[in-house]
Amino acid sequence: MSMIRRVFAGAAAAALLALPAFAQSYPTQAISLVVPFAPGGPTDALARLMVEPFSRELGVSVVIENLGGAGGTIGVGRVASARPDGYTLLLHNIGMATAPTLYRRLPYDPLTAFETIGLVAPVPMVWIGRPNFPGTNFADMLAFIRENGDKVNVAHAGLGSASQLCATLLQAQIRQSVTTVAFRGTGPVFAEIMGGRIDLVCDQTSSTTPYITSGRVKAFAITSAQRLSSLPDLPTATEQGTPFEVTVWHGMYAPRGTPRAIVDRVNAALRVTLGEPRLIARLAELGIAPEPQERITPEAHRAFLEAEIARWRPILTAAGEYAD
């Protein structure tokens, strides 16, 4: 057993010993892990990489349930109204923090409708363009945007999507508007980029990496603090003279009222899962690293969610775009 595996397994064992008897018998049946997006997207991809070791640690099948629509709010609402018995969980991304501003009639409150379980993995993003987009670096891309303004079209996978948030943040930072084009999911976006009909998109490495490594799109900058081992030759935006950092973080949730002992049981399994060497290696291929252990806790997760809601509210309010 590797050192990493022993550390995570030891932490999980300690947590289990502290659980009352009724929680130690949990779970006794399959668990539904709701992903509030259609199959094939970045969050779904992360869930599918996690589900096998997560099921093994819990001792029952964990079944992914894709409930897409309305920027993820349909699936999230489904979990908010589920029985708080630990058999319905949610894996969601940064959209949990942006929905309270994007949706003026949101049917749930992210801070009161859920028990936070732990942060999972932050996914960096990449600015990519059509193969014949002029220039070779991030400075060239920004210069083209400034020169052409709203003649530049930037795609995103729908209001509230990570790609839309990245585009909104860039426009706010450089104080230059572009024409944004909404699609239903990431698949159509990449088809249009490769076909040369859309200029740019900013999306997660879990989606963009295969297109970049195969040369089907032009890549300009990573939005993380450091370069990625999966794309070692692609500089960060900050390296290229324009500080611009945004990652799509993910977290796991249970319905509000789920007993703390069950939350702790799921958290223990999550921590072991994210220390699984094979999962770490597979995620690294996509430019992703699991959160450090100190952030895989209910308390750290809740504090971060509160901070992210506060961070995005003024940015999205200033943009004036609403999803309802």
Q: How far apart are CA 301 and CA 306, in angstroms?
A: 9
Q: How far apart are CA 264 and CA 70, in angstroms?
A: 31
Cβ–Cβ < 8 Å for 138, 127: yes
Q: Are residues 109 and 128 in the same domain?
A: no
Among 203, 222, 241, the domain-final residue is: 222
Between strands 200-204 and 123-129, the pairing is: antiparallel
Cβ–Cβ < 8 Å for 116, 291: no
pLDDT tens-digit readout, 130-157:
999 999 999 999 999 999 999 999 999 8
Q: Are residues 96 and 147 in the same domain?
A: no
135 lies in a domain?
A: yes
244 lies in a domain?
A: no
Indicate if the pLDDT at residue 12 is higher than 50.
no
Q: Where do we find the tokens 């699991």?
A: 290
Average pLDDT over residues 222-242: 94
Q: Are residues 138 and 116 in the same domain?
A: no
pTM score: 0.85
Q: How far apart are CA 182 and CA 241, in angstroms?
A: 29
pLDDT tens-digit readout, 215-231:
999 999 999 989 998 99
pLDDT tens-digit readout, 58-80:
999 999 999 988 888 999 999 99
User: For the chain, what is the domain count?
Assistant: 2
Cβ–Cβ < 8 Å for 270, 89: no
Residue 140, domain CATH: 3.40.190.10
pLDDT tens-digit readout, 257-267:
999 999 999 99
Q: How far apart are CA 123 and CA 290, in angstroms?
A: 9
Q: Positive or negative CA dihedral for 40, 41, 43, 46? A: positive
Q: Are residues 259 and 307 in the same domain?
A: yes
Q: Can you give the pLDDT at residue 311? A: 93
pLDDT tens-digit readout, 91-139:
999 999 999 999 989 999 999 999 999 999 999 999 999 999 999 999 9
Q: Are residues 135 and 175 in the same domain?
A: yes
Q: Are residues 17 and 100 in the same domain?
A: yes
Indicate if the pLDDT at residue 324 is higher than 60.
yes
Q: Can you give the pLDDT at residue 20? A: 54
270 lies in which domain range? 3-122+249-319
Q: Are residues 199 and 281 in the same domain?
A: no
Q: Are residues 263 and 187 in the same domain?
A: no
Indicate if the pLDDT at residue 81 is higher than 60.
yes
For residues 123 and 38, which has the higher predicted lDDT (pLDDT)? 123
Q: Are residues 58 and 28 in the same domain?
A: yes
For residues 168 and 12, which has the higher predicted lDDT (pLDDT)? 168
